[in-house]
Amino acid sequence: MAYTITLTWPGEQNRYLIEELAPPLLENLHLLGTKSELSLFQQIRTNYTRKKYELHLAADSIGPAKIGELTINYYDTKTDKSDSFVTPVYEVKVKATSVAGQRFLWFLLAVMILLGLGYVLRFYRRINRPAAETIPTKTLEQQALQKTFALQGQDPKDLLTGLKKILVEYLESKTGQNLTRKTTNEVLASLEGFENGKREILRQVLEECDRARFNPDLIGQNLAKATVGKFNKLLEPEGKELVE
Partner 1 sequence: MHPDIKALQDKIAAESFFVKKLTDEISKVIVGQKYLIERLLVGLLCDGHILIEGVPGLAKTLAVKTLASAIQAKFQRIQFTPDLLPADLIGTMIYNPQKGTFTPKKGPLFANLILADEINRAPAKVQSALLEAMQERQVTIGDTTYPLDEPFLVLATQNPIEQEGTYPLPEAQVDRFMLKLSVTYPNRSEELQILDKNTATGLPEVDSVISPKEILQARKIVQQVYLDEKLKEYIVNLVLATREPDKFNLRIKDLIAYGASPRATIYLSLAAKAMAFLKGRGYVIPEDIKAIGQDVLRHRVIISYEAEAEDLTSEDVVQKVFEGVEVP
Pick 19 or 186: Cβ nearer partner 1: 186
Instruction: Give me the least distance between CB of 242 and partner 1, in Å please.
Output: 20
Instruction: Give me the least distance between CB of 188 and partner 1, in Å please.
Output: 11
Which positions touch partner 1 (CB under 8 A)?
180-186, 210-211, 213-218
Closest of 30, 26, 33, 28 to residue 56, by C-alpha: 33
Q: How far apart are CA 212 and CA 164, in angstroms?
A: 10
Pick 146 or 185: Cβ nearer partner 1: 185
Vertex 211, ends 153 and 206: CA angle to 5°? 85
Residues 6+ apart with CB under 8 A from 192: 243, 244
Pick 50 or 213: Cβ nearer partner 1: 213
Instruction: Give me the least distance between CB of 177 and partner 1, in Å please.
Output: 12
Instruction: Give me the least distance between CB of 165 and partner 1, in Å please.
Output: 10
Instruction: Give me the least distance between CB of 171 and partner 1, in Å please.
Output: 13
Pick 29 or 168: Cβ nearer partner 1: 168
Phi, psi torsion values for 22, nearest 5 degrees:
-90, 140
Closest of 208, 203, 200, 211 to residue 187, by C-alpha: 203
Order of strands, sheet of 2-10, starting from the edge strand that comes earlier in the sequence: 2-10, 46-59, 29-43
Using DSSP, how many helices (H) and how many strands (E) does the chain show? 6, 9
Instruction: Give me the least distance between CB of 160 and partner 1, in Å please.
Output: 13
Q: How far apart are CA 74 and CA 70, in angstroms?
A: 13
Pick 147 or 157: Cβ nearer partner 1: 157
**Largest Cα–Cα distance in the chain?**
120
Order of strands, sheet of 90-94, starting from the edge strand that comes earlier in the sequence: 26-27, 63-67, 90-94
Pick 37 or 186: Cβ nearer partner 1: 186
